[in-house]
Amino acid sequence: FPNGQKIVLDHKDHLHVVFTSGDTVYYTSSNKNAKKWSAPVTVGLGKFPAIALDSHNSPHVLWTSGTQLLSSQLSNGNWTTPYSLFSSSGATVDAPSFAINTANDSGFASWTDVTTTSSDVSLASFMPGDTTRPVSIQRVDSAGSTSFASPSLALDPTGKVLLTWSRDGVVYYQERGGTILTLSQSPGNLAIHPVVDAYGDRLSVTWQEQ
Each residue's pLDDT tens digit, 3-28: 889 999 999 999 999 999 999 999 99
Residues in the chain: 210
- What pLDDT was estimated at residue 187? 86
Separation CA 78–CA 96 (nearest Å):
23
Q: Which of 45, 59, 48 is nearest to 19 (CA)?
A: 48
Low-confidence ranges of the chain (pLDDT < 50): none
**How confident is the model at residue 117, as a pLDDT?**
87
Whether 95 contacts 72, CB under 8 Å: no
pLDDT at 1 (0 to 100): 61
Per-residue confidence (pLDDT) for residue 102, from 0 to 100 = 94
